Chain A
Amino acid sequence: MSNYFVDIKNMSFYRGDRAIYDDISIQIPRGKITVIMGPSGTGKTTLLRLIGGQLKPDSGDIFLDGKNVPLLNRKDLYAVRKKIGMLFQSGALFTDINVFDNVAFPLREHTDFSESIIRDIVLMKLQSVGLRGAAQLMPSELSGGMARRAALARAFALDPELVMYDEPFAGQDPISMGVVVSLIKRLNQSVGMTSVLVSHDVAESLSIADYAYILSEGQVVAKGTPEEIKKSTDERVVQFLGGLPDGPVPFHFDAPDYQQHMNMYPNKKGALV
């Protein structure tokens, strides 16, 4: 069995004519926390969807636990997804059921546990994200950060082999941020889950990462352990880690030259074009 739980080989993915990924290769080692960083809009969420088989690459292979995801049929794809837990950027809680039932959902779908066992598991998971008291609340009654933590509890309710976190730190106050960071680390160590964490929060991400990738414009610009990344002298990495606006990593979405753009309609100053 390969050392890599997820192995992406020479994968390209296009949105229209725009290459989101251009011949990229990424390895996610088994039982480790791998962090994928990059400016927003580079396609981090897209990468997670590609791994989960919701999007199909235009070329290349994505092996998940030895299976080539893009080639799986519907049935096998759903079977393989039972090994995955995913925290969506928006949380994506089911709005018609309360927090408790949301966390219980994967358990009821995929296990034959009795209701009392499910109850214990759910309360345990909610306790670990600090929301045991909110079990009976509806998702609409939660703040953004709380919703994301509830979704986090749901993502690892089944103790999946792979958990993918899409921006787990966004919208958390410093205290719950600390809780989430240590939770991800603890889950990884105690159960041996493989974790993929997508984020643009450099400090937190690097603090728990075993391995890190930095992506920009469809390419891997740096990879390695956090120490290696931090020591990198690549100016794109330096710019990203330091949060500097000027540098080779574009802050702007592809656009024509600014000066020229503003002068396109000289009579209407500031017209939206």
Chain B
Amino acid sequence: MTFVQNIGAITLDWLISVGRSGLFIVQSILHKPKSLRVATQLFIKQLYSVGVLSLVIIMVSGLFIGMVLALQGYTILVKFGSEQAVGQLLALTLLRELSPVVAALLFAGRACSALTAEIGLMKATEQLSSLEMMGVDPYRRIIAPRFLAGLVCLPILSLVFSTVGVLGGEFVAVDWLGIHGGSFWSLMQQSVYFSTDVVNGVIKAFCFAIATTWIAVYQGYECEPTSEGISRATTRTVVLGSLSILALDFILTAAMFGDF
């Protein structure tokens, strides 16, 4: 086969898998739940394992990143005599970039990998098959609640990340480095706009959530049902998830904050 044919074949394979995964996720969420009560229960259970269990790592990371940002920002800004602006630097960096991106990367590593492994193991132990044979659609029962929980949890985690980060940054800047609290907050409030900065950050987190959770559930469902298959699928979830977060971030940033 020639080089061109190879490229063609790879592109075709890729397009097919994109199409498959697209149909897969659409079929999963376009289900009318059989019983709203059961669907809610399943959803809450997933909110717990996807969201609540990711909270600690998100909060600890947010705290440290906020503190580091304040420290780094201070050492640079103090040279220009505008160290009060550290609050503004902190808040804008967190809200626009770091919170959605870092929270999503941690989410891909903590929650999405677990989703892939869980679904993959269900497949390997024939639990998915036995659901199908019982006439229970695994799309509705297994995939949909996990995917939807991901969509809800990541924006929340990103908001929590920002909040903890700002608190950590304030601790370093105001309590430790002795920047005047009034100017710290007022400069921050002057430059941060709720409708652009906070809302855009949430939109970013939501887009990342779609990408990573989609990849996670698809990789789990389509994995080869063996130990190596599951481990490969889990790795792919983290790698593809992280890469798509970074690529999406570039596109979204250009669309939201670029002045073209």
B118 and chain A: residue at smallest CB distance: A96
The listed residue with most A CB atoms (<10 A of its CB), out of B38, B130, B132, B136, is: B130
Q: Is the CB of A86 within 8 A of B137?
A: no
Q: Is the CB of A90 within 8 A of B135?
A: no
B94 CB → nearest A CB, Å: 36
Identify which of A4-12, A74-82, A181-189, A237-245 touches chain B.
A74-82
List the A side residues contacting B34 at CB < 8 Å.
109
List the B side residues contacting A90 at CB < 8 Å.
125-126
Chain A-chain B contacts (Cβ-Cβ < 8 Å), number = 54
Q: Is the CB of B129 within 8 A of A105?
A: no
What 1/0 mask marks residues of chain B from 187 to 206 whose CB sits below 8 Å from any chain A CB?
Answer: 00000000000000000000
What 1/0 mask marks residues of chain B from 109 to 151 whose CB sits below 8 Å from any chain A CB?
Answer: 0000000000000000111011011111100000000000000
Confirm or deny: A108 has a beta carbon within 8 angstroms of a beta carbon on chain B.
yes
What 1/0 mask marks residues of chain A from 88 to 111 whose CB sits below 8 Å from any chain B CB?
Answer: 111011110000000001101110
Q: Is the CB of A92 within 8 A of B126?
A: yes
Q: Is the CB of A88 within 8 A of B129?
A: yes
Q: Is the CB of A54 within 8 A of B127?
A: no
Q: Is the CB of A92 within 8 A of B130?
A: yes
B133 and chain A: residue at smallest CB distance: A86
CA distance A249 to B136 in the complex (A): 39
Q: Is the CB of B38 within 8 A of A84?
A: no
Confirm or deny: A38 has a beta carbon within 8 angstroms of a beta carbon on chain B.
no
Confirm or deny: A70 has a beta carbon within 8 angstroms of a beta carbon on chain B.
no
Q: Is the CB of A84 within 8 A of B135?
A: yes
Confirm or deny: A168 has a beta carbon within 8 angstroms of a beta carbon on chain B.
no
Q: Is the CB of B127 within 8 A of A52?
A: no
CA distance A151 to B131 in the complex (A): 12
Q: Is the CB of B130 within 8 A of A88?
A: yes
CA distance A52 to B129 in the complex (A): 10
CA distance A257 to B57 in the complex (A): 59
Q: Is the CB of A88 within 8 A of B126?
A: yes
Q: Is the CB of B38 within 8 A of A81?
A: no
Q: Is the CB of B126 within 8 A of A54?
A: no
Q: Is the CB of A52 within 8 A of B132?
A: yes
CA distance A110 to B129 in the complex (A): 17
Q: Is the CB of A54 within 8 A of B135?
A: no
B126 and chain A: residue at smallest CB distance: A92
B146 CB → nearest A CB, Å: 13
Q: Is the CB of B135 within 8 A of A79?
A: yes
B232 CB → nearest A CB, Å: 21
List the A side residues contacting B132 at CB < 8 Å.
52, 54, 78, 81
CA distance A85 to B131 in the complex (A): 11
CA distance A92 to B122 in the complex (A): 9
List the B side residues contacting A74 at CB < 8 Å.
27, 137
What 1/0 mask marks residues of chain A from 213 to 235 whose CB sits below 8 Å from any chain B CB?
Answer: 00000000000000000000000
A52 CB → nearest B CB, Å: 5
Q: Is the CB of A81 within 8 A of B135?
A: yes
CA distance A92 to B138 in the complex (A): 14
Q: Is the CB of B129 within 8 A of A78?
A: no
CA distance A86 to B133 in the complex (A): 7
Q: Is the CB of A52 within 8 A of B133?
A: yes
Q: Is the CB of A109 within 8 A of B136?
A: yes
A109 and chain B: residue at smallest CB distance: B136
List the B side residues contacting A80 at CB < 8 Å.
135
Task: List 30 A–B pairs whose Cβ atoms lie within 8 Å, in order of A's numbering.
Answer: A54-B129, A54-B132, A54-B133, A78-B137, A80-B135, A81-B132, A81-B133, A82-B134, A82-B135, A84-B135, A85-B134, A86-B130, A86-B133, A88-B130, A89-B126, A92-B126, A92-B127, A92-B129, A92-B130, A94-B127, A95-B125, A95-B127, A105-B134, A106-B134, A108-B38, A109-B34, A109-B135, A109-B136, A110-B134, A110-B135
**Additional A-B contacts beyond A54-B132, A78-B135 (17; CB < 8 A):** A52-B133, A74-B137, A78-B132, A78-B137, A79-B135, A80-B135, A82-B135, A84-B133, A84-B135, A85-B134, A89-B126, A92-B125, A105-B134, A106-B136, A109-B135, A109-B136, A151-B130
Taking beta carbons and an 8 Å cutoff, which residues of B are in contact with A? 27, 34, 38, 125-127, 129-130, 132-137
Taking beta carbons and an 8 Å cutoff, which residues of A are in contact with B? 49, 52, 54, 74, 78-82, 84-86, 88-90, 92-95, 105-106, 108-110, 151
Which 9 A-B pairs rank lowest in CB-CB distance, beginning with the nearest?
A: A81-B135, A92-B126, A82-B135, A92-B130, A86-B133, A78-B135, A88-B126, A52-B133, A106-B134
